Amino acid sequence: MCYERGLSAIYLEDTKRVAQIEYIMHTGLIGVCAGFDPFRDPEKALARTYEVLDTDFIFYTQHSIDIHGVDGKRSEGDFVTKGNWSKLYPSTWRIRNDVSSEEDVLNFEPSPGDQSTEQVMGAFQETHSKYQGLYSSQVVPGGYYCTTFMWCVMHFGLEWTIKAAARDPRRFEKLLNRFGEISMRDFRAWSMCDIKAFISHDDICMTEGPIMNPAWLRRYVFPWYGKLWQVLRSKGIRVIFCSDGNIDRIIDDVASAGADGFILEPSCDLEGTVRKYGDEKVIMGNVDLRALTFGGREDAVREVSRCLRTAGHCPGYFINVTGSIPDNVPLENLWTYFNAFRKLGLRPKAT
């Protein structure tokens, strides 16, 4: 039922219950839901967790090349693995980039490798089929973490990216376009795969709003969104845009570029987005992780109530703890969150 419910929400069809997408990394929750030691088989344990919690959609991305630009050759000290976020799914963070000047960024030549679009498609389809089989109860979308801007952030770090963009906009545009061509090959490959939806991720915002001036984004980034997303949408694939932070100031630009929906962090104006796009776009998220982490059970219920009261009537709304659910969230708050949603997430019957 949850696969069909997720698909119906993506196509803006009314369902008996509001849909749900969660990115669960919480070792304790996964262990309890799986019913066995999750370290024995983390993927099977996570699949069982999504099934037990009756979620409808998962977060998934894949690229044809290393998004860090190191092609598997990681130098000691460049990356660090942190288990404090999740013991079962520890996070790998890049703490040092091989960049010492704006010129290092501007002179960089991205390498797409020697794979054809068809070869990339074959790799994408093989891996996606594996995960759709594993998470058979959920819709597994296609996905891409570095749509355009994030290529530079992952390769050079945010600070050097901004400095290089300000130093020489024309040369930076050429660099961005070279990355864009890699994305275009991969998006074409994804468009040939057996997928119904696609998560297009690009961190272009922070909590206060866009990282770069919206005018800059309109000049250099959003045109690429339009071209990339059209490749997918021409095949009937629904495109969901995802960024960290508050996208309120650029949400209309993202919609104009062709996004079929958005993932909203708690800093975003859910009510305003619902007023503008509630009947015509997929809307995911807005549950505040801080309330579940630092509040009590009543705070978890309030977050569920707030989001459902604001967006629960929208046919394409997915409740979601935006970002991921890490180990430090009290387990009792999580049970309260999921149980409250089961109770409150049912749509009222038509009279």
Predicted confidence band of residue 350 (pLDDT cuts 50, 70, 90): very low
Q: Is the pLDDT assigned to residue 255 strictly greater than 90?
A: yes
Q: What is the pLDDT of residues 258-303, one digit of tens each?
A: 999 999 999 999 999 999 999 999 999 999 999 999 999 999 999 9
Q: What is the pLDDT of residues 195-252, one digit of tens each?
A: 999 999 999 999 999 999 999 999 999 999 999 999 999 999 999 999 999 999 999 9
Q: Does residue 349 form part of some domain?
A: no
Report the distance separating Cα 67 and Cα 81, nearest Å.
17
**Residue 52, φ and ψ in degrees, nearest 5:** -65, -40
Q: Does residue 312 form part of some domain?
A: yes
Q: What is the pLDDT of residue 25?
A: 96
Q: What is the pLDDT of residue 349?
A: 57
Report the distance separating Cα 244 and Cα 147, nearest Å.
13
Q: Does residue 332 form part of some domain?
A: yes
Predicted confidence band of residue 188 (pLDDT cuts 50, 70, 90): very high
Cross-strand partners of 57: 21, 139
Residue among 61, 66, 175, 177 at smallest CA distance from 115: 66
**Are 291 and 299 spatial neighbours (Cβ–Cβ below 8 Å)?**
yes
Residue 109's domain comprises 2-344
**Are 326 and 290 spatial neighbours (Cβ–Cβ below 8 Å)?**
no
Q: Does residue 350 form part of some domain?
A: no
Predicted confidence band of residue 351 (pLDDT cuts 50, 70, 90): very low
Q: How many residues does the chain have?
A: 351
Report the distance separating Cα 155 and Cα 85, nearest Å.
23
State the chain's maximal CA–CA distance in angstroms. 66
Q: What is the pLDDT of residue 2?
A: 86
Q: What is the pLDDT of residues 107-154, one digit of tens each?
A: 999 999 999 999 999 999 999 999 999 999 999 999 999 999 999 999
Q: Does residue 8 form part of some domain?
A: yes
CATH number at residue 155: 3.20.20.210
Q: What is the pLDDT of residue 68?
A: 83
Average pLDDT over residues 88-101: 81
Average pLDDT over residues 61-68: 92
Q: What percent of the chain has pLDDT over 70?
A: 96
Predicted confidence band of residue 333 (pLDDT cuts 50, 70, 90): very high
C-alpha triplet 88, 19, 279: angle, nearest 5°: 135
Q: What is the pLDDT of residue 106?
A: 97
| 309 contacts: CB under 8 Å, gap ≥ 6 | none
Structure tokens at 278: 């509630």
| Cross-sheet strand order for the sheet of 261-264 | 19-20, 317-319, 282-285, 261-264, 238-242, 197-201, 142-144
Q: What is the mean pLDDT of the chain?
A: 94
**Residue 98, φ and ψ in degrees, nearest 5:** -85, 60
Q: What is the pLDDT of residue 98?
A: 80
Q: What is the pTM of this model?
A: 0.94
As for how many domains the chain has, the answer is 1
Q: Does residue 166 form part of some domain?
A: yes
Q: Does residue 63 form part of some domain?
A: yes
Q: Is the pLDDT assigned to residue 72 strictly greater than 90?
A: no
Q: What is the pLDDT of residues 318-329, one digit of tens each?
A: 999 988 999 999
Q: Does residue 150 form part of some domain?
A: yes
**Are 289 and 253 spatial neighbours (Cβ–Cβ below 8 Å)?**
no
